[in-house]
Structure 1
Amino acid sequence: MPPKDETQSLTHDLLRRAHSPDSANRIYSDKIQHRPLFLKPSSPPPSTARDARRKARHERRKRAKALKPKPLSARERRNLQLYRLPKEGQKYSIFAPLNNLWIGYIREILGTELYNGGQGAAAKLSAADFHGAEVEVSRSRCPSRVGVRGIVVKDSRFTFEIITRQNQVKTLPKEGTMFRIHVPAPDAAPVQKPFCFEIHGDQFQHRSSDRANKKFKHHFLKKL
């Protein structure tokens, strides 16, 4: 390593090549002399800092993903019988409060259209959830199903599973079936006539979660 005097003279010579002697002395005293020389960077460069932040985010997401439980597969749900109604729970009285909740829910959705109906009511009903609704088969290709009535305990893609007043669980296919539903008016309503509407099961062959974002179109309906 060259001595300090030789380093200073070399620095002065380089500065004098580009500047006058006075400017070279001033630059040396202001910008070079007594300035600290960092042998190690005081902070990482921007690229290294970005990589560190990116790595930290990746680690946090990885830990959060490890803590989040893995969703059950369809086979595991079937094996656990999550959607099976136990025999001790097959009672109409158990689901009667659910029907009362559904009536309040559908009244809130319909609003004033509960009394006058119309296309607005049809659009709202087509996207509504019918778990807890009391449905009655008004028309069907199978005559023995006409008149069957009960509370919907499961609304699947192709069927309504209901429980009747006789504590019987019945599975009603939507295809080729029309369902009638009565919604009683509130006690404080000026007109106490219940709001009645029918569902064409052929157009309701969707899960309740899928119907919320689906736009229904007019189709030719076969006579039942």
Structure 2
Amino acid sequence: MSNIYSQLPKYVTNSSEAKKERQPPMSETTKKFVPDFVTGTLEETVKDSAKVYASKLKDKVLLLDNPLKTSNEKKKRKHSKKKVRSMSAKEKRETKIYEIPNECHRYELFIPLNELWLQYIDELYGTSSPAVFAQKLLKADFHGAILTVSRSRCASYIGVTGINIHETENVFKLITKDNVLKVIPKGHSVFTFLLRDHMFTLYGDQFRFRSAARAAKKFKNKPTIDL
């Protein structure tokens, strides 16, 4: 019979427990089952099946599970691992996926978003001091924040206040109480917001990243850029 298992160590076979065990009787029919079965299976495709069995299978350790996959199965598995293709920037512009319809330019629609943001930013603040919290703001999400433009090179932007409903790499889109959507560039602009009786300042030039990229970015200390 083919040996498909490695031998036990001597300290196991010579132990008293092993000697007490009875070896199951093995008939001649059982001993010949494996070679007869293999050679009988190979006779249809191989002429000298007994010779093949003696050279490749007899007294060899065989792996009886996890058979090799066919080329078709490998291709299917490789194809299933492919990443789902996302929309390109051009496709997003063409489909206007981020554009908010004019009928939705209403301040009251985004008040619940502001309430959710207040809960989120209050949990982020936690028990830290304003100085420590200022470091956390670098990676915070500002969708829903009420921002005010305190300084800007463009005088018409100064004083604009609204809920930030969309942030891109270069702009904040604010919806004002007059139901007007204002697109404020981050560059050369300074924004403020109020939280827990503290006024926090955001320098737009230092926030010119996408919100997702900013959350994973490691910032370095840099001097404040004046307008």
**TM-score (ref. length: structure 1):** 0.70
For 1:217, which of 205, 214, 220 is the aligned residue?
A: 220
In the other structure, the counterpart of 1:117 is 130
| 1:105 corresponding residue in structure 2 | 120
2:69 maps to 52
Aligned equivalent of 1:23: none
1:50–1:111 distance in 2 versus 1, CA, 3 Å: same
Percent identity of paired positions between Structure 1 and Structure 2 = 37
Q: Choose 1 or 2 for highest CA Rg.
A: 1
Aligned residues between the structures: 179
C-alpha distance in 2 between matches for 1:102 and 1:108: 10
**Contact 2:205–2:225 (CA under 8 A) maintained in structure 1:** no
Query: Unaligned 5+ residue runs, structure 2?
Result: 1-26, 43-56
Residue 35 of structure 1 aligns to a residue whose secondary structure is helix
TM-score normalized by structure 2? Answer: 0.69
Question: SS where residue 194 of structure 2 aligns?
Answer: strand
Provide the C-alpha distance between the structure 1 equivalents of 2:123 and 2:188, rounded to a whole number of angstroms.
30
Q: Deviations over 1:59-99 (max 9, x none)?
A: 2453575xx86422222222221100101100001011101
Structure 2 SS opposite 1:166: coil
* Structure 1 residue 140, shift from structure 2 partner: 1.2
How large is the RMSD of aligned CA atoms in angstroms? 3.0
User: Which residue identity lines up with residue 179 of structure 1 in the other structure?
Assistant: F
Classify the secondary structure of the residue corresponding to 2:110: helix
Q: Evaluate the alpha carbon distance shift between residue 75 and residue 223 of structure 1 in structure 2; reply closer, same or farther with a 3 A threshold.
A: closer
Cross-structure match for 2:109: 94
CA distance in 2, matches of 1:108, 1:150: 22
Distance, in Å, in 2 between the alignment partners of 1:220 and 1:210 is 21
Q: 1:216 to 1:63 in 2, by over 3 A?
A: closer
Structure 2 match to 1:141? 153
Query: Residue 149 of structure 1 aligns to which amino acid in structure 2?
Result: T
1:139 deviation in Å? 1.1
